[in-house]
A and B are shown apart, each in its own frame.
Chain A
C-alpha cells in the first residue's frame, strides 16, 4: 500500500528538551489501522524511544487516551483513515501535566477518586454475608450506566472547568459517586454528599457538556453531575425545613 499519512506526534524528553514539540512521522495509511497502530509502527520502525500508554487495544482498559486533532480520544478506537489525507496531530491528553512524550501524570485523579468513596458503604456492620446481596434488574438499571466508566480521563481532558481550575473534582469522580449513591446495596450517600457539596465538588461544573460528548462508554457524566446538584439542593432544603425528621433518614452519620 503506497498511501501514507503524516502523524504530528508530540515529543518531550524532560532531560533533553525544555518544552514539548511536534515531530512529523510518515505512517502507512492502512484501512483498519488506528492511531495506536500508527504509534506502535513509529516505535517499532522509526524511534523506539517514543513513549505512550496502551494495553487492551479494544476500548475497555482506558489507558490509551490522547488528544487527536484537538479532541480527547481513545487512540485504539480512532481510525487513521478518518483523518486522511492528514496530517493528524497526536498530543498528550489535555489538562494533565506531561511526564514524557504522550504520557501524562494522572496522580491528581488518583487523589480525587478515593475522596468520593467509590465503594459500597453499609450502615450495618456485617462482615460475613449469608449469601449474596440480591438486586432486581430495575435496581441494576438505576446505576448501570454510571458503572461503565473505565477511568480513561477523556472527560477531564474535555472539561474546560478542570483545565482552568484543577481543584474541581471532575466528571468521572462525580459520575462514580452517583453510581454508588444509586446502588440499592449502598448506604453511603450522606458521606459522599459531604465531599461533593463543597465548592470544588459539583458546584464547579457549569454544564458545558463536553465530558458526555467525549465519553467512549456513554456514561453521561454531565447528566450525573446535574442530578447530583439537584440531589444536594433537595437535601439542603430538607435539612433546613425538617431538621429532626431528616436526621433519622438513611445514611451513616
Chain B
C-alpha cells in the first residue's frame, strides 16, 4: 500500500480537535478568568503541587502536541483556501514548523517547571 504522511497528520489533527473541544473551554474559564479575577482562589502551593507531578506534565505535553498540530493543519488550509496564498510548500512549512517549534517550547517549559 502507498505510504503517505497526510493520513497520520489528519489523525493527529482529529485527536487534537477532540482534545481542544473537550479540555479547552474549562481551562480558559478557569485560567483566564476565574483565577486572575479571583472568582476562585486555590493556593499557589496547591497549583505548584499539581503542576510539579511528572505525570501531570507528561499528560499536559501529550495533550498539547496534538492541539498544536490541529491548529497548524487547520490554519494551513485556511491560508490557502480563505486567503488564497498559493505557495503550498512555504505555508505548510510555516504552519507545521510553527507547531514543532511550540512543541519544543512546551517540552522545555514542562520539563523545567
Report which A residues bind B (CB closer than 8 A). 160-161, 164-165, 190, 193-194, 197-199, 203, 206, 229, 232-233, 235-237, 239-240, 246-247
Contact = CB atoms under 8 A, between A and B. Distances in A.
B10 A203 contact: yes
A236 B4 CA distance: 8
Given A229-B10, A233-B8, A164 B84 contact: yes
Contacts of A247: 1
A232 B84 contact: no
B81 interface: yes
A209 to B, nearest CB: 14
Contact of B2 (A197, A203, A229, A237): A197
Interface of B: 1-4, 6-8, 10-11, 14, 74, 77, 80-81, 84
A233 B7 contact: yes
Contact of A233 (B10, B77, B80): B10
B6 A199 contact: yes
Contacts of A206: 74, 77, 81
Contact of A232 (B7, B14, B74, B81): B7
Listed residue (B1, B8, B10, B84) with the most chain A CB atoms within 10 angstroms of its CB: B1
Contact of B3 (A165, A199, A236): A236
The 10 closest A-B pairs by CB, nearest first: A236-B7, A233-B7, A233-B11, A239-B1, A203-B6, A206-B77, A232-B7, A197-B4, A164-B81, A194-B2
Contacts of B1: 190, 193-194, 235-236, 239, 246-247
B73 to A, nearest CB: 10
B88 to A, nearest CB: 9
